[in-house]
Amino acid sequence: MNQKKWISGLLLIIFVVSISSAKEIFVSPSGNDNNPGTKKQPFKTLFHAEKTARQLMIQGKVNDVTVWLADGIYGIDKPFIIKPFRGVSGEYKLQFKAEKNAKPVVSGGVQISGWSKNKEGNWEIRLPENLSKISECRELFIDGKRATRARFPNIGYLKVKKAGADRRTNFFFEKGDFPIPANAKNTELILLHDWSISRIALKEIKANENQLFAVDSIGAKGPAFFNIDNWEPNPRYFLENAPEFLDENYEWVYQPEEKLLVVKLPDEVNPAQLQVVVPLAEGLISIVGEENQPVKNVSFDGITFQYCNWQIPEKGYCGVQACHFDPRPTDNGWAVVPAAVHAVWAENVNFENCTFKNFGGSGLWFYTGCKNCSIENSVFSDISGNGIMLGEGHDREVKDGKWWKVAPEQVALANKIENCTVTECGAQFYGAVGIWCGLTAETVIRNNEIFNLPYSGVSVGWMWSPEPTPCRKNTIEGNHIHHIMNILSDGGGIYMLGLQPGSVIHNNPIHNVEINAGRAESNGMFLDEGITDVIVENNLIYDIAKSPLRFHKATKNLVKGNYLFCTGENPPIRYNSTKEDDIRKEDNNIFVEDDSAYRTELKKAIKRWHPEK
């Protein structure tokens, strides 16, 4: 055989091998799981497509499968679970991708139909049997937008007059503050603490005494400072889910005894003309690996994840921070608002060009043991809890100790969030943040836009001390963070907590952190207890009601080359229980609002960070 024929033969072999090592599977809402899964005869469900891909890999026929999703809605009532690929030899890859020009939606919602008008002129329906497992309807979406659960007042807040004797379970209000609900037990109290909230059912209202009682302690039971009167002088609150509050179009209430849903609509609007959806599935995607066999090399591209249900605990949601809360009625440490898309012990799992929206809990969470995972070019919006979560806190036990002491190698490592949009998180739980990272290592948060949030934009770290943990070398770079801290206080565009040496906060424009009613101030950046060996460099911070930077119980850090614009009554850097000399400052550009150069320099700085403006 001459050399030319030999090379041609080799290329043919390589081509044949490459074809046999890859497989395409097609899925469509109009398909059938009895079909062969081809383009012309697609499967119907992701569950069957994943099962087929797994079988092909185990049989050794392929090690690279792409599941193509056609346009349409893929309704699910339980999470789509991906487990380790046992029995698959060698490296493998499984991709779920939208077909060209398709917009597939994985939906955990159920559309409600069959409405009738009641004597008050509102529309009502008893929830159908397929929603019977929902103990309490907490969310309703009309044409893809979150509808308001009837509240009082419609805008703004009421104020606590005085805390009750125990400072925890009850308080007094001013006479005539709100219409007294006929059934107080279906009504929910939402009370704002500085950096978290409580959502808790009422036990009773003593109208003659102007006193309101909750079913349990208002505020987290763990930290002793969660007394009602330990925050604002007269804490803000409002009430939800009473028929007496149903006074604006597109508001709704739910009466659990009758499983009755009531919606107020404009006179000319019939709900049959609308897409009215109640979330059902408690989770959409669960990637569940194991420490000795993680799920690897799975990706999702161009898919929308929409509608996910989460029920608050029986005795209420009483937040601690960043969607951590008392589990109630159990007493097993803090729990966390779960995410619609969740991964544990996963490596090289990627979400790209995806959309996450209309969730009752949090958005996406790369949890324990997740390594080299990424979220890129994706949008997170209208989410009740945190938008994106990486890593975990400090509570989990391993053998006889805390995981970060006994098994620090289990830390979430080298994960990346890049070029994403994160907005309108904390829709129910105002203490949520756009991007939350616990004890993580080598995390990269880069070039994201994070805005319109009730609390902080980015939060990294989870240890209220300088004690060493696996948390280290995290990078927050090039993120545009604005219009945050819209409701709560004591946070910032970037909040960092605990020892995480080698971390860098670089080149982030942060602006529009408005003043709030809380006891503690909010800032462009708030670097909290234990922060050491962190570089804060080349950031632009402006339109901040208080100090652009704040350190609390921090030690030696570098602040270099930043542009800090502040008001006359606030210093550019505030030091709470921090030695000012420990914060090394080099080549920073500081401008005070009263200076003649303030506006000129601000325009120049904005142009530098945002050339398009």
Query: What's the rounded Cα separation, in Å, for the pair 363 and 366?
Result: 10
- Please check whether residue 528 is in contact with residue 499, taking contact to mean a CB–CB distance below 8 angstroms: no
59-83 tens-digit pLDDT:
998 999 999 999 999 999 999 999 9
How far from 511 is each of 165, 312, 355, 420, 543, CA to CA, in Å?
A: 41, 33, 25, 18, 5
86-137 tens-digit pLDDT:
989 888 999 999 999 999 999 999 999 999 999 999 999 998 877 777 778 9
255-264: average pLDDT: 94
Mapped onto helix, strand or coil, the DSSP state of residue 536 is strand
Q: What pLDDT is stored for residue 2 in this prediction?
A: 56
125-150 tens-digit pLDDT:
998 877 777 778 999 999 999 999 99
Q: What pLDDT is stored for residue 22 in this prediction?
A: 85
290-331 tens-digit pLDDT:
999 999 999 999 999 999 999 999 899 999 999 999 888 777
Query: What's the rounded Cα separation, in Å, for the pair 475 and 504?
Result: 5
Structural domains of the chain, ranges and CATH numbers in brackets: 3-107 (no CATH), 110-276 (no CATH), 310-609 (2.160.20)
Q: What pLDDT is stored for residue 11 in this prediction?
A: 40
13-28: average pLDDT: 67
560-579: average pLDDT: 95
* Higher-pLDDT residue of 520, 21: 520
The DSSP symbol for 290 reads B
184-243 tens-digit pLDDT:
999 999 999 999 999 999 999 999 999 999 999 999 987 778 999 998 889 999 999 999
Residue 16 has pLDDT above 50, yes or no: no
Residue 33 has pLDDT above 80, yes or no: yes
- Please check whether residue 253 is in contact with residue 47, taking contact to mean a CB–CB distance below 8 angstroms: no
Q: What pLDDT is stored for residue 8 in this prediction?
A: 46
349-363: average pLDDT: 98
pLDDT band at 12 (very low <50, low <70, confident <90, very high): very low
* Higher-pLDDT residue of 613, 394: 394
pLDDT band at 3 (very low <50, low <70, confident <90, very high): low
The whole-chain average pLDDT of the chain stands at 93
pLDDT band at 4 (very low <50, low <70, confident <90, very high): low
User: Which amino acid would we find at residue 29?
Assistant: P
Contacts for 301 with CB less than 8 Å, ≥ 6 apart: 95, 96, 97, 98, 351, 352, 353, 354
